[in-house]
Structure 1
């Protein structure tokens, strides 16, 4: 996670998606699925400061994924049957990332960097990053609702950065999804997903 902070205006709790992951467990998480006599953890709760209050997010791994840490779900079956296109194109990891900033945040130099996602710097690999707007939740009193044009995706080598390019009025919550697709020697190598939950406070301080 890369968060730019100006006078405490932005807070973030994030865990960017990594390509290689190792299995870890935490007894505080909910136990929901067993597989080959091993207990997989699939639910976590993450609470974030929302500038005057707080909000707790429930992180629930999809079926076929285990909770690697509080913010990331990892695919339990890494090997797909030959020709199983659907299995091969399921994300290897899904990370859940949380960002909070104040209403009408000052945006210097045309943008504020919010989130960075890095992929592997392996030889002969090519990474493609795409971002989409999943949802926006704002009361009728908010006239300046976010849209995809409020964010800028830039890629440099093996990393991509999502930036905010204009101030946003609060309160509103936004969900973005950043996808990283890997090809090696022109062969498909896998996908990682970063879900980004942005909370814009109703306050300007």
Structure 2
């Protein structure tokens, strides 16, 4: 989540929409996996990321914890992040050929790179992180094609809702100083959103928005 006043330092100074062309295409990377090292602090995973991973690997959220992902405390909220290994901090999902083993189900932050998002009111735009990708002469590609996410409108609605949830909960927890209460709030937060159960006739998005009102109420956020 980058603030507009910082964008000039890391971007080309432009904001892009989903139909815009942007110089982000690394040409299938050709074996390069530089952006898959040392990013454990950067790749925060949202519930849809976890749903994608568990669906792809046929593993539960709890089976991913420890080996593939780790819970970290951020603004008093426990959130899952990609786990890195070794002195080079290699992503846990890189295979022996240095390719992503869950590429078609990779996290949204990985999917965006070298793009990022900037949030404005009830919307967001994309920006290009200049120099973030080590490949020279990146090609032009439409933002929508580069992201390559199915059901884009539903996904965007979810991303915006999730951004507001995390922001509101971080503000709420500023005023919670009892460790037991913090633990109980975080447990309910993780259980509700990251151990989400998809019922028959539902997809991820419908299930998420079905549980959202009651979950927000119990978390004490608007």
TM range (shorter): under 0.3
Task: Please report the TM-score for the alignment, with normalisation by the length of structure 2.
Answer: 0.26
Task: Please report the TM-score for the alignment, with normalisation by the length of structure 1.
Answer: 0.28
Higher strand share: 1
Higher helix share: 2
Q: Say which structure, 1 or 2, has more relative contact order (CA 8 Å, 6+ apart).
A: 2
